[in-house]
A and B are shown apart, each in its own frame.
Chain A
C-alpha cells in the first residue's frame, strides 16, 4: 500500500459518492421544473404542492451534490499534480467552461428560485427553475467532455512532456463524449424517474390518491424514454469502444484472444454466440480483439508493462450495469402497459416501484466503475499512466488522513441525507394553504 493506492481509493470513494447525488440533481431538477410548468399552465393547486414537495427533496439532495463536487475540482491538483500539469492545457478548459457556463447559472438561479417565491413574477420564477435545471445538464456535458478526453484524447499534441490543445472544437465534439453525454444524462433521468416512482409507490400504497397515480405515470414515461436513450447511446459507446478502447471491451467481454463472431458471456460458461461481434461492429462475424492480443500489441507500442485493467471489476460491473439497467427500464415499460387507458395501479406494482430507487443507482455506479476502472492503467489513454499521474510530494500519511476524513464525513452525511429524505417523503405534501401559496413566505424551502 503506497500513496498511489490510497490516492486512487480516495478518488474512487469521493467520485462514486459524488455521483450518488448528481443523477438526481440532473433528472429531478427537470422533473420539478416540469411540475411547476404544469401548475403554471393549469393553475391546479396540487401541481404547486407537488412542486414544493419534490422541490424540497431536490434541494436536500442538491446540497450534497454541490459540496461533494467541490472536492472533485481540487482533488486533481491535490492528489494528481503530475496528471494536472500534463493535461491542464486541454482538460482545464472544459472545467473552466463548466464553472462559467453551467455552475454560475445553476447556483444563482436556484438561489433565486428558493427565495424568490414571493419576490418574482410567477413567469420569471418559473424561468429560474428551468435555468437551474438546464445549468445542471450543461455541467454534465462539460465534465463528460473532459472525462471522455482521458479515454480518447483528441485535439492536442504533446510538447515538452505536456499536452497542448490544438483544437478546442475537437475536444468538445469528441465522439466518445457525444456518445457518453446522452448515456449519462439518460441514465440520470432513469435514476430520477426511479426515485419519483419509489416515492409515488410508497404514497400509492398509503392513499390510492389519483394524484399519485398521475405522478407515477409521469415518472414511468420519463424512465422509459430515458431508458431508450440510454440503450441507444450505450450501443454507440460499445461501437466506439471497439475502435478506441479495445482493451476495455476485451476485458469487459471476457475475451482472451482476438475472436471472429465473438459470443456474449452472460456469466462464465453461459454464452450467446456472435452477439459481441454484432454489438460492437454491426456484423455478426467481425473480429473483436482479445485481451491477451491487445496486451501484446500494447507492449509493442508502449514497451513492457501490464496494460490490463482489473478483470473481475470490469467484467462484473458491465453485467451489473446492463442487468439492473434493463430491469429498471423493463419495470417502467411493464408499468406503463398495466396502467394504460386509466387502468388502476395494482398494489404489487406500487410495491415493486420501491425497487426503482436502488436498482438504477447501482447500475449507474457500476457503469462508472466499468468506464474508469476499465481505463486503467492509463489516466490519459496511450499518453500517461496512472502511476505517473500521482502527486510526488504528497505522502502516504497525508493521503491516509484525508481519505479517513472524507470517508467518515461522507458516511455520516449519507446517513443524515437518507434520514432526512425519508422523513420528508413520509411527511408528504403540505396541506393546501388558505392564502395563495405563492404569495406566502415558504419557510420549508428556505432556511
Chain B
C-alpha cells in the first residue's frame, strides 16, 4: 500500500511537470516568439483553457502527499522554505497575469508577471529536487537550470504544435535554440542523478541506483530524439518525446526518493496508517478516471491550431 501511494504521488508529480512544464515554457517564450499584441494573445491562448487545470495536478500531488505521507510533506516544504515561498510567489503572479491581461488597458505588468512567474517555478522545482537528492548548491543550480531549459524546450515544441503562422515558425527556431542548452545540461544533471555522484551520495542504495540510472539514460535519449524530430518538423512526435523526457526525468528523481524521501526518513515512517491509505485508494480509483477523461476532453475541444485574431 505504501509503495502504491508512492507510485501514485510520483505519477501526480510527473503529470504536473509534463503539463505545467509546457505552460511554463510558453510563459517563458511568449515575449520572444511573438511580436505585438495579437501574436502575444495567440501564443498565450494555446495554454489559456488548460493551465489552471494543469496546475491542479500540483495541488493534487501535494494534497496526496499530505494525506499519504504527512511527515514527507511537512519535512519537504519546511526544509525548502524560502525556495517554496518564491515558487508560490511565481505561481501567484503568473496566475493573476494570465487571467487579468485581457482585462487591463496595458498588459505590461501582466506579461512581466507571466514571464517571472513561469521562470521562478521552472527553475526552482528542479533546484529543490536536485538539492534534495544531491545536497549541494552546485547541483541545485545545475538541476534548476536544466528544468528551466527543459520547460522552455517542451513549451517551444508545444507552441510549434499548437500555433500556425509566424509564431509557429519562431517557436521551432526557439526549440532548436533551447535544445542547445537543454541537451548538455541534461547530460550533466541526469548523469549525476543516475550515478549518484553528488556530494552527499546516499549509501545502501546500490540496486536502486542501478535501476535508477535507466530512466535517466532514457530521458537523455528521448530528449535527443525530440531535437531530431523538431528538426524534421514532426511536431506531434517531438512533443511526445519532450513529454516523455520530462516524465523520465521525474521517474529518475522519484526512483531515488523511493529510498529516502528526505534525509533520515523512510517512506514507512512517513506514511499514514493502512486505513487512510485504503480509503484514499478507493477515492483515487473512483475519481481519477473521471478527471483524466474530462481533462483529456478539454484538449480535444481545443485541438485546433490557434491562429492570429486581430
Which of chain A's residues have a CB closer than 8 A to the CB of B50?
Answer: 111
B283 neighbours in A (Cβ, 8 Å): 93, 96-97, 100-101
CA distance A413 to B97 in the complex (A): 11
Pairwise interchain contact B98-A394, C-beta atoms closer than 8 A: no
| CB of A426 closer than 8 Å to a CB of B | no
8 Å CB interface, B273-290 against A? 273, 275-276, 279-280, 283-284, 287-288
Q: Say whether A63 contacts B287, CB under 8 Å.
A: no
B101 located at the interface, meaning its Cβ lies under 8 Å from any Cβ of chain A in the complex? yes
Binds A, one of B40-48, B184-192, B241-249: B40-48
- Asked if B74 and A103 make an inter-chain contact with CB atoms under 8 angstroms apart, the answer reads no
The answer for the CA separation of A93 and B272 in the assembled complex, in Å, is 10
Q: Counting chain A CB atoms within 10 Å of each CB, which of B52, B58, B60 scores highest?
A: B52
Contact indicator per residue, chain B 81-94, by CB within 8 Å of chain A (1) or not (0)? 11011001101110
Verify A103–B60 contact, CB threshold 8 A. yes
Residues in B52-81 with C-beta less than 8 Å from chain A? 52-53, 55-56, 58-60, 62-71, 73-79, 81
Chain A residues with CB under 8 A of B301? 112, 116, 119-120
A85 contacts partner chain B, Cβ-Cβ < 8 Å: yes
Given A84-B73, A424-B103 in contact, is the A394-B60 Cβ separation under 8 Å?
Answer: no
**Contact code string A150-174 (vs B, CB < 8 Å = 1, else 0):** 0000000001001011101000000
Stretch binding the partner chain, chosen from A66-74, A271-279, A308-316, A350-358: A66-74
Contacting pair A402 B78 (CB below 8 A): no
A11 at the interface (CB under 8 A from B): no
Cα-based distance from A281 to B283 in the complex (angstroms): 38
B104 at the interface (CB under 8 A from A): yes
**Residues of chain A from 71 to 91 with CB closer than 8 A to chain B in the complex:** 71, 73-74, 76-91
Write the nearest CB–CB distance from A294 to chain B, whole angstroms.
Answer: 31
Asked whether any CB of chain B lies closer than 8 Å to the CB of A99, the reply is yes
Report the Cα distance A111→B93, complex, angstroms: 18
Q: A81-B78, A420-B104 known; A92 and B52 CB under 8 Å?
A: no
> Does A195 touch B at the CB level, under 8 Å?
no
Q: A111 to B53, Cβ gap below 8 A?
A: yes
Which residues from B are CB-within-8-Å of A109?
A: 294
* A284 neighbours in B (Cβ, 8 Å): none
Q: How far is the CA of A63 from the CA of B59 in the complex (A)?
A: 15
With contacts A60-B100, A67-B96, A424-B103 known, is A104 near B45, CB below 8 A?
no
CB pair B103 A444 closer than 8 Å: yes
Q: Is the CB of B295 within 8 A of A73?
A: no
Measured CB to CB, the nearest residue on chain B to A61 is B99
Q: Is A385 an interface residue (CB 8 A)?
A: no
Instruction: Evaluate contact between B71 and A88: CB separation under 8 angstroms.
Output: yes
**Does B4 lie at the interface of the complex (its beta carbon under 8 Å from any beta carbon of A)?**
no
Contacts of B68 in A (CB 8 A): 92, 96
Contact indicator B298/A112 (Cβ below 8 Å) = yes
SS class, residues of chain B in contact with chain A: helix
Known: A88-B71, A165-B275. A111 touches B48 (CB 8 A): yes
Residue ID in chain A nearest B306 by CB atoms:
A115
Docked-complex contact B82 and A95, CB < 8 angstroms:
no
- Contact between B100 and A393 (Cβ–Cβ < 8 Å)? no
**Closest residue to A92 on the B side, CB-wise?**
B67
Given A74-B84, A164-B275, the answer on whether A394 and B100 have CB atoms closer than 8 Å is no
- The answer, yes or no, to whether B165 is at the interface (CB within 8 Å) is no
CA distance A86 to B76 in the complex (A): 15
Q: How far is the CB of A397 from chain B (nearest CB, A)?
A: 10
In chain A, what residue has the closest Cβ to B52?
A107
A111 touches B298 (CB 8 A): yes
A50 CA to B65 CA in the complex, in Å? Answer: 42
B12 to chain A, nearest CB (A): 9
Interface status of A59 (Cβ within 8 A of chain B): yes
Known: A56-B103, A63-B100, A444-B102. A92 touches B272 (CB 8 A): yes
Decide if A108 touches B53 in the complex (CB within 8 Å).
yes
Give the shortest distance, in Å, between A289 (CB) and chain B (any CB): 34
Chain B residues with CB under 8 A of A73: 59, 62-63, 66
Contacts of A413 in B (CB 8 A): 92, 96
Query: Are B74 and A96 closer than 8 Å at their CB atoms?
Result: no
On chain A, the residues within 8 Å of B76 by CB distance are: 77
Q: Which residues of B contact A68 (CB under 8 A)?
A: 92
Residues A66 and B95 in contact in the complex (CB < 8 Å), given A73-B62, A447-B48: yes
**Contact indicator per residue, chain A 229-259, by CB within 8 Å of chain B (1) or not (0):** 0000000000000000000000000000000
User: A413-447, CB under 8 A of B: which get 1 and which 0?
Assistant: 10010001000100000000000000001011111
In whole Å, how far is B213's beta carbon from the nearest beta carbon of chain A?
A: 30
Instruction: State the CA gap A7–B147 with chains docked (Å).
Output: 31
Q: Is A204 close to B, CB under 8 A?
A: no
Residues of A contacting B93 in the complex (Cβ-Cβ under 8 angstroms)? 409
A162 to B301, CA, bound (A): 46
Min Cβ gap A312→B in Å is 31
In the complex, what distance in Å separates the CA atom of A96 from the CA atom of B53? 15
How far, in angstroms, from A424 to B100 measured CA to CA in the complex? 12
In the assembled complex, how far is the CB of residue A177 from the closest CB belonging to chain B, in whole angstroms?
17
A64 touches B (CB below 8 Å): yes
Does B295 lie within 8 Å of A104, measured CB to CB?
A: yes
Interchain CA distance A8-B304 in the complex, whole Å: 48
Nearest opposing residue in chain B for A111, CB measure:
B49
Asked if residues A391 and B103 are in contact (CB atoms below 8 Å), the reply is no
Shortest C-beta distance, B293 to chain A (Å), equals: 10
Closest 6 CB pairs of A and B: A88-B70, A92-B67, A63-B99, A77-B77, A81-B74, A84-B74
Having A108-B298, A398-B81, one finds 13 other A-B pairs with CB under 8 Å, namely A67-B91, A68-B92, A84-B73, A88-B71, A92-B65, A101-B283, A103-B59, A115-B49, A165-B279, A391-B81, A402-B85, A447-B44, A447-B102
Interface residues, chain A, with chain B CB atoms under 8 Å away:
56, 59-60, 62-64, 66-68, 70-71, 73-74, 76-93, 95-101, 103-105, 107-112, 114-116, 119-120, 159, 162, 164-166, 168, 391, 393-394, 398, 401-402, 405-406, 409, 413, 416, 420, 424, 441, 443-447
Residues on B facing A (Cβ under 8 Å): 41, 44-45, 48-53, 55-56, 58-60, 62-71, 73-79, 81-82, 84-85, 88-89, 91-93, 95-96, 98-104, 272-273, 275-276, 279-280, 283-284, 287-288, 291, 294-295, 298, 301-302, 309
